[in-house]
Amino acid sequence: MASVFIATGPACGNLGGYTLIMPVVSVGNVGQLTVDLIISTLSLPRVGYFHSDCLLPVVGNNPYATTSENSAEMCISSEVYASAEQKLAVLQIRSPIVQGKHRSFRQQLLSWIKESEFSRVVVLSSSHAHHRVDRQLVGTPLRYLATPALQTISGDKFQTLEWKELERVAAFPGISEEEQEIYIPGGGITKSLYNDSCTEGIPLAVLLIFCSEGDNIPDAFNLLTFLNEWIQLIEKTNDQQTVTQAQWKIPSSWRLLFGSGIPPALF
């Protein structure tokens, strides 16, 4: 399979040993909002594009503009940002997968992950809150999944963090409770990407939050705080228990997240 990563410079092609963070298009677009915050806060430079015919084409102005000079830079449906200092790569996906091409997109994605030799992959996702089973209604809305390959290199890290693993549910509720399966309604390709990664031995973790459509900015901050407990993107200051919302930088594009407002001329 031909490479789908197009580097924008000669020094940008080697991402071996990096941690890859990426979203999945899912309910509330929480993963994409979370990635926006990471790229904006860390001021990550764009190092290339993820070229795929499986994504709907999108083009627009720079969503992370900081000056009038760089506001006119163009962005497309999927781009890669990276920091050599932090050994961190971030894939942002801005459009849904073309109908019927979900499997092809997963194959392209996994091929690139293996070719790049990332040390681990973190998938940020979300799931419909109204589909939760009874035992998921109490406590934190945050969950994780880790492939056997990641568990091998992470040891008991997730137990130390006291994270809750995503509960399996009955594959045939009301008929048999013996066969259990992963259930992520509204999660797009999250489940299939996780299963593929288990099969292919890729060290991958899924971090997700139960949520509903609407203003999902608070969900993005919650998911980002959850991620930061494991991978220290930014450090806590003084005697903080957790990183505060104010420590994350909101990208300029969020000013139009819900449109440009109601025209006063209507009144």
Two structure tokens written together for 78? 């999927």
Q: What is the DSSP letter of 257?
A: B
Identify the sign of the CA torsion 108, 111, 116, 121.
Answer: positive
- C-alpha–C-alpha distance, residues 94 and 78, integer Å: 6
**Looking up tokens 């941690």, which residue turns up?**
19
3-state secondary structure of 162: coil
Q: What does DSSP say about strands 19-23 and 88-93: parallel, antiparallel, or unpaired?
A: parallel
Q: Give the closest residue to 100 by CA, choosing from 55, 57, 43, 37.
A: 55
What is the structure's pLDDT at 246? 82
Residues forming beta bridges with residue 143, ordered by sequence position: 208
Q: Give the closest residue to 58 by CA, choosing from 80, 79, 40.
A: 79
What is the structure's pLDDT at 175? 72
What is the structure's pLDDT at 244? 80
What is the structure's pLDDT at 259? 67
The residue extents of the domains of the chain are: 15-46+82-234
Q: What is the pLDDT along the chain (267 residues), one digit of tens a residue?
A: 555 888 886 556 688 999 999 999 999 999 999 999 999 999 999 999 999 999 999 999 889 988 888 888 889 999 999 999 999 999 999 999 999 999 999 999 999 999 999 999 999 999 999 999 888 898 999 999 999 999 999 999 999 999 999 999 877 666 766 777 999 999 999 999 999 999 999 999 999 999 999 999 999 999 999 999 999 998 876 666 677 888 899 998 888 777 666 667 766
Chosen CATH of 15-46+82-234 out of 2.40.160.60, 3.40.190.10, 3.40.50.10900, 3.30.830.10 = 3.40.50.10900
Q: Give the closest residue to 195 by CA, choosing from 186, 178, 182, 207.
A: 182
3-state secondary structure of 182: coil
Q: Are 128 and 136 in contact (CB under 8 A)?
A: no
- C-alpha–C-alpha distance, residues 210 and 239, integer Å: 29
What is the structure's pLDDT at 73? 87
What is the structure's pLDDT at 98? 96
Amino acid identity, position 161: L
Q: What angle is formed at CA 79 by the lines to CA 77 and CA 81, rounded to 5 degrees? A: 155
What is the structure's pLDDT at 116? 93
